[in-house]
Amino acid sequence: MPKQVNHQERREEIARALWRVVEQRGVTRLSLREVAQEAGMSHGQLQHYFASRAALLCFAMDFAAEQTADRVDRGVRELGDRPHPRDVLRLLLTEMLPLHADARATSRMSAAYVLEALHDEGLRTRARDGIAQGRELVEQVVRRAIADGHLRPDRDPVTETHLLLALTGFTPLLELGVIGPADALTALDAHLDRLFAPSGQP
C-alpha cells in the first residue's frame, strides 16, 4: 500500500521550513523555491500545497499565531485557577518578544509578514485584523483587572493597553543585541509593578 500523506502535517512542515528560511537567511531569501529546498521537496511539490508566496505567508503566519496561542494557554493553565492579571499580562507580553527560539521564529515571521503586507492589500487586511485581535486580548485583561479591583478605577484601559503593547518595541533592540533579555524583562516588570501599584502609590 502507498504511504498515506497527512496534508495538514505536510503544510505545517512547509511553514516551519519558511520560518527557518526567514530566521537563518532573512526575508530577502524568502521564495517558494528557497522554502521548497529547505523543506526537502521540489518546487512543484510545494506548489501543490501553496500556489503563491502570499498563500504560503498567510498559512505560516496563521500557524505561528496558533503556536503562540497554545504556548499562552499552557502558560495560563500553569498559573492556576485564578491567575493574577499581572501574571497573565507578563505572559502575553513575553510571548510577543523574541526571548526564546519559538518566539524568535514567530517574531521574525511576523516582521516578514508585515513587510509583505505593506504592499499587498489582502495581506494588509489579514495582518491588521490579526494584530487587532492580539491588542483586544490585552485590553480585555486590563479591563477585567480594573473591574476586579486589581487596577485603580481611574486607569484608562485603552491608554494602558497601548502602553503595555509599546513594550513589544524592545523586539529590534533584542534582535540586534542592543539590550539583552534580562534588560527587557527588568523594564517589563518595572512597568507592571507601577501599573499594579496600590492606590496612593505612583
pLDDT at 202: 53
Q: What are the residue ranges of helices labelled H in the chain?
A: 7-25, 32-39, 43-49, 53-78, 85-95, 101-117, 121-147, 157-166, 170-175, 181-195
Extract the residue ranges of the chain whose pLDDT is less than 70.
1-5, 27-29, 199-202
* Chain-centre distance for alpha carbon 98: 9
Cell 523574541, residue? 98
Could you give all domains of the chain from N- to C-terminal order, each with its CATH number? 53-195 (1.10.357.10)
Contact 117, 124 (CB under 8 A): yes
